[in-house]
Amino acid sequence: MIGLWVIMLIWISFVVYRASVELRNNQVVRGLFRDYHPPYKRADGWVIDPSQRNLAEELGRRLGNRSLKPAPNNATPEAWLAWLRQEGIDARLHSGTAPQSPHLRFTKGALAPELWIGRYGVDFIVFVDRVGVMQRSALSKPTTVIELLGLQVTPW
């Protein structure tokens, strides 16, 4: 009986281990056009579509997979505004309450702005440089907002 219990406990452990691996859904899925990395949780929310893209690459993707010049590093909002206009993206500094349309939001201490994409229920959907698309329940107050007038991406 003891031997049988040892075998059974080994099997149970194996199944539990297997379940923990298989259900973690942390494998990369090789899609038709890109790889999809599994979502994960951060302190500030869920990264629902992880990617290593920087903000310029992400903006290019949302503008119909355009290739944009490298964006300014650690730049001021004014430098970003100039870059956007150079790339032919209609943008303007926004004052007042943040718009409910795509915009760049600059926050204190952040190296790069975030791209505000939209709302999902009560949550906010933002793109974070070299992190990916995030779902957050709250956003910190931005210091500056640049409204992106030409970036309303429709789902089809």
Partner 1 sequence: MVIDLQSIGIQARERWTLATLAGLFNGIGFVFWGPISLVANVPLLLALRHSPSAIETAFLGGLVGLLGGVHIYGIVNYGWFLLVGFSLYTASQMVIYASLFRVLNGTRSAVLDVLLPAGLWTLSEWIRTVGPVCMPASYAGNIADVEMLHPWLSLAALTGGLGVSTLVAAIQGCVLYGLIGTTAQRRAALGIFVVILGLGIVGHAIEPAQPGERINVIGVQGGLANSQYHAAAADPAAMREVIRTYESLTQDAYAESPEFVIWPETAIRAPVLTTPQLRARLFPPDGHSSVLLAGLIETDLKGRRYNVMSAIEAGDKLVARYPKVRLVPGTESHFTPGPEFKPMKTSHGSVGALICLESVYPDAARKSVANGAELLVVASNDAGFGWSPISQHMLNRAIVRAVETRRWLVRVGQAGISTVITPVGEMSVQPLALFTPGLLKAEVERRTERTLFVRWGDWWIGIILVLLVTTAFARRRDSVPD
Binding residues for partner 1 restricted to 97-116, rule: CB under 8 A: none
State in angstroms the smallest separation of the CB of 83 from partner 1: 21
State in angstroms the smallest separation of the CB of 105 from partner 1: 16
State in angstroms the smallest separation of the CB of 54 from partner 1: 15
Which residue lies nearer to partner 1 by CB, 95 or 154? 154
Cα distances from 139 to residues 60, 99, 136, in angstroms, run 24, 13, 7
Binding residues for partner 1 restricted to 46-65, rule: CB under 8 A: 48-49, 61-62
Kindly report the backbone phi and psi dihedral angles of residue 2, in degrees, each rounded to the nearest multiple of 5, phi listed first. Answer: -65, -45
Instruction: Tell which residue, 69, 47, 68, has the closest CA to residue 114.
Output: 47
**The two structure tokens encoding residue 43:** 């302190």
**The two structure tokens encoding residue 79:** 């430098």
Conformational region of residue 152, where left means phi above 0, alpha means psi within -120 to 50, and beta covers everything else: beta
Q: Are 80 and 88 in contact (CB under 8 A)?
A: no
State in angstroms the smallest separation of the CB of 101 from partner 1: 12
**Residues within the interface to partner 1 (CB under 8 A):** 1, 4-5, 8, 11-12, 15, 18-19, 21-25, 27, 29-34, 36, 38-39, 48-49, 61-62, 117-118, 120, 123, 125, 133, 135, 153-156
